[in-house]
Structure 1
């Protein structure tokens, strides 16, 4: 005789109980899907955080650095406009007639002047500040090397005026340094002079530990002996700090500054 209860099919709209192994499989799949959902949400969150970090590093730090450098540039030009250079003084403390003013001695953090490189833009200008620490360069300036070699200043009789600046973020003042080539002009503007250099050679890539590129007679530059040189350095490739690139130039002319601060021909737009 057949058991009516076991033979009775499920009523329409109702599902018969699945076997235990099928129910276990469904639970495992449900847990796996939940875990994947959580992982997806975490990845989306991580992507947003990374996107915000990139925006901060490559955009907002540029905005902050440009504001800081612009304010410092205005202050420096205001100081220049305030009066003449301090005259040189004799041991007794009075000015010595007929003796030109002694060059100012600059300390780390002091603003020196401005760097103009037409190959990086017709109106390209960057404030020059003593020092190459992160704190200095993050202000959107070109920093003067103090170590491993103390850079010579443009008015010194010989030496290498070596500068560094960020290529990306914090003003990215040397972002287009790879656009500078042999024969291009590089001009340093101080309170009283225009120092005009001509690029003699470039180095696309070298180790970040290659300190010789900023030596008084820079290694691999092609210079055989002392001279009045300028060196511009930055990180490469773009968005990394793995290597360094360098641009080297030599002084070709010094122009006196007139009352109107008329730029040299190399900086005049046609």
Structure 2
């Protein structure tokens, strides 16, 4: 009698539906990993690189200021235009610094000309050149309109929604301090609403030309669906002393 052979073990065949489910699961896992890496890149890596770039640019600007010490202009009355020669206004060039005590002690952001993608990606606040060319703080009247990212690329305006009427905004230039007061905020508007940066901003409490500042960024956080705006008006300006002593709002 022939010896019995053990039954051959058979690998169960997977049904097509099971194969498809496995492939789909692997695909979803891969997509999830890629999305996580994209978030890390967008919110952490771009903040890191933009912060480094902005710090280097700020250092270069302050060195340039030190090499050309400001003259000692006399203080001008509130609302009067500065007689001091303004710093150069060139695309991508440094204009000064925005200080916002309401966003934390020591908060400052470098201000550069332009709101194009490359400029704002460097972790700065950019000055609008279109559709309404921004006025400068030293101009007799107009709207000094700025934009910065809320998330990623430095996220300099991430907490812009914390500002409220009465908060000070201080612009530091080569030879003067410009002190503004927040008058109103616009929590949300269309990204196509260019009126918020007009010389007399649409929707603001202002009804006639003056010396204004507007800060804009995306909203809600982590999206670019809408825009928000903060409006302020000039309270006073102070000449820059050799020690660059900040105004009372920053002390």
- Structure 1 length as normaliser, TM-score? 0.83
Q: Which runs of 4+ in 1 moved over 4 A?
A: 11-15
CA contact (8 A) 1:85 1:101 kept: no
CA drift at 1:65 = 0.2
CA drift at 1:191 = 0.9
Residue number in structure 2 paired with 1:181: 164
The reply to whether residue 195 of structure 1 matches residue 178 of structure 2 is yes
Q: 1:155 aligns with which of 138, 158, 161?
A: 138
- Show the 5 A alignment for 1:36-51: 36-51=21-36
Distance (Å, rounded) in 2 between the aligned partners of 1:119 and 1:84: 29
- Structure 2 length as normaliser, TM-score? 0.89
Q: 1:53 aligns with which of 38, 45, 59?
A: 38
CA drift at 1:41 = 1.3
Residue number in structure 1 paired with 2:19: 34
The reply to whether residue 245 of structure 1 matches residue 228 of structure 2 is yes
How many equivalent residue pairs?
A: 238
CA contact (8 A) 1:80 1:191 kept: yes
The reply to whether residue 82 of structure 1 matches residue 81 of structure 2 is no
Which has the greater radius of gyration?
Answer: 1
Question: Counterpart of 1:146 in 2: which secondary structure?
Answer: coil
Distance (Å, rounded) in 1 between the aligned partners of 2:7 and 2:135: 91
Question: Counterpart of 2:44 in 1: which secondary structure?
Answer: helix
CA contact (8 A) 2:87 2:174 kept: no
CA drift at 1:79 = 0.5
User: Which structure 1 segments of 5+ residues have no match?
Assistant: 1-10, 18-25, 87-99
CA drift at 1:12 = 11
CA drift at 1:101 = 4.8
Q: Deviations over 1:46-72 (max 9, x none)?
A: 111110000000000000000000000
Q: 2:93 aligns with which of 110, 125, 150?
A: 110
CA drift at 1:151 = 0.4
Question: Counterpart of 1:186 in 2: which secondary structure?
Answer: strand
Distance (Å, rounded) in 1 between the aligned partners of 2:178 and 2:116: 25
CA drift at 1:35 = 2.4
